[in-house]
Amino acid sequence: MSTLTFTMIKPDAVRAGNIGNILAMINQAGFRIAAMKYLKLSEQQAGQFYAVHAHRPFYPELVAFMSSGPIVAAVLEKEDAVASFRTLIGATNPADAAEGTIRKLYAANVGENAVHGSDSDENAQIEANFFFSSLERF
């Protein structure tokens, strides 16, 4: 059964000119794009999106980075979307990411790691709703 996940192409990958390469990998892996937008988060919005990490030492750095430039936000649909997408992007730290994954190819380090992917079906819904209204989802 098709399910949803949520992704962002982060400011590092946008700055490096990798939007097209990453979208091509997402397309080739069989995901359907259910929603997509190109935008820049404010510090307040980035802090709200990552509020679950507010107690972590890297939170200020994460918020500053995620509001440092434009991102691509998207909702993706596929069978077992959350797990399938996490396989496609690789480990959070690109040093641990498998060969051929998006983070292995395009991420520099654990902070600037090219893409975000939801970690559960529940969070995929919460994250998709953060960015998209029902009128923006197809």
Which is closer to ligand CMP, CB of 35 or CB of 115?
115
Q: How far is the CB of 26 from ligand CMP (least distance, A)?
A: 15
Q: Would you call 116 a catalytic residue per the annotation?
A: yes
Spatial separation of the C-alpha atoms in residues 47 and 77, rounded to whole Å: 26
- Sign of the Cα pseudo-torsion (60, 65, 70, 72, in order): negative
Closest by alpha carbon to 136, among 82, 68, 73?
73
The Cα–Cα gap between 31 and 110 comes to 25
How big is the chain by its Cα radius of gyration, in Å?
14
Q: How far is the CB of 135 from ligand CMP (least distance, A)?
A: 26
Indicate which residue of 10, 78, 103, 116 is catalytic. 116
Residue 91: how many CB atoms within 10 A of its CB? 16
Of these, 71, 113, 114, 132, which contacts ligand CMP (CB under 6 A)? 113
At 94, the amino acid letter reads P
Beta-carbon count within 10 A of 16 CB: 14
Site string for ligand CMP, 20-59 (x = CB under 6 A): ---------------------------------x----x-
CB 137 to ligand CMP: min, Å: 21
| Under rule CB under 6 A, residue 110 binds ligand CMP | yes
Active site residues: 116
Residue ranges that bind ligand CMP, judged by CB under 6 A: 53, 58, 61-62, 92, 110-111, 113, 116
